[in-house]
A and B are shown apart, each in its own frame.
Chain A
Amino acid sequence: MATATMADEPTRRDMLFIATGAAAAVGAGSLAWPLVSQMNPDASTIAAGAPIEVDLKAIPEGGIVTVKWRGKPIFVRHRTKKEIDEAVSAKLADLPDPQTDAARAKKPEWLIVIGVCTHLGCIPLGTQGTRGEYDGWFCPCHGSVYDTSGRIRKGPAPKNLEVPAYAFSSDTKLTIG
């Protein structure tokens, strides 16, 4: 057969075969993308997650206010002198996730953290008497203990309570997000 001698040479058919395969792969990928991407937060969810304002005048010293942002509780804690001292004096070597208090609080009297345990997402307790041995927060689900800087001290949680992006728009106004 005449074509047998051509077997080693790439033919137009080989070229078409590869081009068709490549086009199909690109096509399948670009069709899969919207199907995967639609599961990410939609525009309304992102819009609802815009920054919020908190009035700090209403929070007395020693008080913790919980505000909801992006479906999660945010703890805004007006720390007392004693609580600040405890947070600052903790030795970094004692911390599972070492971080100084200054790196976590822009103003020492205000601590702002996301109130979600870094273990499996429960909300740690922070009312008087339930704060755990480091006077910060205690997670009832699996027993993680946080200090007055929201840093993990004991228990299965791997990381400190997350600090969200925030700024003081004035002395009494806080913007979270």
Chain B
Amino acid sequence: MSGPSTFVPKSALGRWFESRLPIGGLVHSSFIVYPTPRNLNYWWTFGAILSFMLGAQIITGVVLAMHYTPHVDHAFSSVEHIMRDVNWGWFIRYAHSNGASMFFVAVYIHMLRGLYYGSYKAPREVLWILGVIIYLLMMATGFMGYVLPWGQMSFWGATVITNLFSAIPLVGDSITTWLWGGYSVDNPTLNRFFSLHYLLPFMIAGVVILHVWALHVTGQNNPDGVEVKNVERDTLQFTPYATIKDSFAVVCFMIFYAWFIFYTPNILGDADNYIPANPLSTPAHIVPEWYYLPFYAILRAVPSKLGGVILMFGAIAILAFLPWLDTSRVRSAKYRPMYKVFFWAFVLACLGLGFLGSQPPEGGYTIAARLLTLYYFAFFIVIMPLLGLFETPKPMPATIADAVLGKGGSAAAKH
């Protein structure tokens, strides 16, 4: 959708530079005149919110690394040193630790937005898969970051997660030893996790560039799921319309984020992580950070170790196949009455799995986790392929302009 730039800088110096490195034209075509569908709602601002969170995490993280010591004897006390001695250290650390949670809040909303409005369907499959890769990298980054303070949950979380790899037949134990750099989670493990925790955000930034690039090739999806037919009638310029709307959403999100930092900075963490790591004593309940809980519930719902590990990774991997599992030609759930119901049931199942992941794996909790795991997979493998065959979609507007201006389609009456 972004054609060759017709951008001509106003100043002579600008024109001189532009003819040597056309970066002004790139920005102009990508973020100024780039056409955005005129029916976008606020769920479409989470891309900007996520970009802001990635920047916030990198800046606070680089600063924290100036004061942190990645050694088993010093890691815990260096974090306390940041909290007590370093100027504004408490603020920077709380911004970073809560920032991880905010990042996941935003990414889950962003992903569910895509799921609801069918943003993964042709021609946006590559865009969606790049998003799944970003999400995987985020999970790896968040996990390794949580290990760095070297508290009890850091240590035992690292032990449980790295032991997942020991479930691989034949080579599992060698892989685990290789990951640890020893015979258990120890100093070599902490050191490499720090190194990788610093690296991965920049890899995320790289994939984000590909993600935005792919987005700008196909153009954005929109709440009606109708492709842009007439740029003049169906779209608005990115600047000022999307720029201002995104900025407003980012500021609202910052208020939410600040509330955690300043009023309840530890509510999303685990109190046990303020106890220094002790390799000879396991906490009574090992609970991962909230954003991993649904997957932890799936892991524990399966009575076999290898089976649990396969289903847990499968629960994430299946997202990459979504464009081909969904057989419906209608994108937006707005025009899919049955899909809409199954979608909200899926959201509830994920929330339910999240709750069950925080509970001990016994009795009714395990049975409930098994039922919800079944629904999680059935949603992708059974419901999505079949709905395309059985569902009768509602009438859709012919163009985005019709949807907005109220000609045809059920969305019309709202304005």
Query: Does B183 belong to the interface (CB within 8 Å)?
Result: yes
Inter-chain CA distance A39–B188, complex, in Å, is 8
Q: A41-B181, A41-B183, A141-B160 are in contact. Are A123 and B305 (CB under 8 A)?
A: no
Query: Does A51 belong to the interface (CB within 8 Å)?
Result: no
Whether A140 lies near B282 (C-beta < 8 A) is yes
Give the size of the chain B interface in residues (CB under 8 angstroms).
35
Near B by CB (< 8 A), chain A positions 133-177 give 140-143, 156-158
**Residues of B with C-beta under 8 A to A40:** 177-178, 181
Q: A71-B183, A71-B184, A122-B156 are in contact. Are A41 and B280 (CB under 8 A)?
A: no
The chain B residue with its CB closest to the CB of A142 is B361
Near A by CB (< 8 A), chain B positions 356-413 give 360-362
Give the size of the chain A interface in residues (CB under 8 angstroms).
25
Whether A143 lies near B160 (C-beta < 8 A) is no
- Which residues does B use to contact A, with CB under 8 Å? 156, 159-160, 162-164, 166, 177-186, 188, 192, 279-282, 284-286, 300, 303-306, 308, 360-362
The chain A residue with its CB closest to the CB of B160 is A120
Query: Does A42 belong to the interface (CB within 8 Å)?
Result: yes
The chain A residue with its CB closest to the CB of B183 is A70
Inter-chain CA distance A122–B158, complex, in Å, is 11
**Residues of B with C-beta under 8 A to A141:** 160, 282, 285-286
Query: Does A73 belong to the interface (CB within 8 Å)?
Result: yes
Whether B305 lies near A156 (C-beta < 8 A) is yes
The chain B residue with its CB closest to the CB of A71 is B184
**Residues of A with C-beta under 8 A to B164:** 120
Partner of A122 from the list B159, B179, B183, B361 (CB cut-off 8 Å) is B159
**Residues of B with C-beta under 8 A to A70:** 182-184
Q: How far is the CB of A67 from chain B (nearest CB, A)?
A: 10
Whether B179 lies near A71 (C-beta < 8 A) is no
Inter-chain CA distance A70–B177, complex, in Å, is 11
Q: How far is the CB of B387 from chain A (nearest CB, A)?
A: 35
Whether B163 lies near A71 (C-beta < 8 A) is no
Inter-chain CA distance A62–B163, complex, in Å, is 31
**Residues of B with C-beta under 8 A to A41:** 177, 180-183, 188
Q: How far is the CB of B162 from chain A (nearest CB, A)?
A: 8
**Residues of A with C-beta under 8 A to B304:** 156, 158
Partner of B362 from the list A42, A66, A71, A143 (CB cut-off 8 Å) is A143
Q: How far is the CB of A8 from chain B (nearest CB, A)?
A: 40
The chain B residue with its CB closest to the CB of A36 is B178
**Residues of B with C-beta under 8 A to A106:** none
**Residues of A with C-beta under 8 A to B281:** 123
**Residues of B with C-beta under 8 A to A123:** 280-282
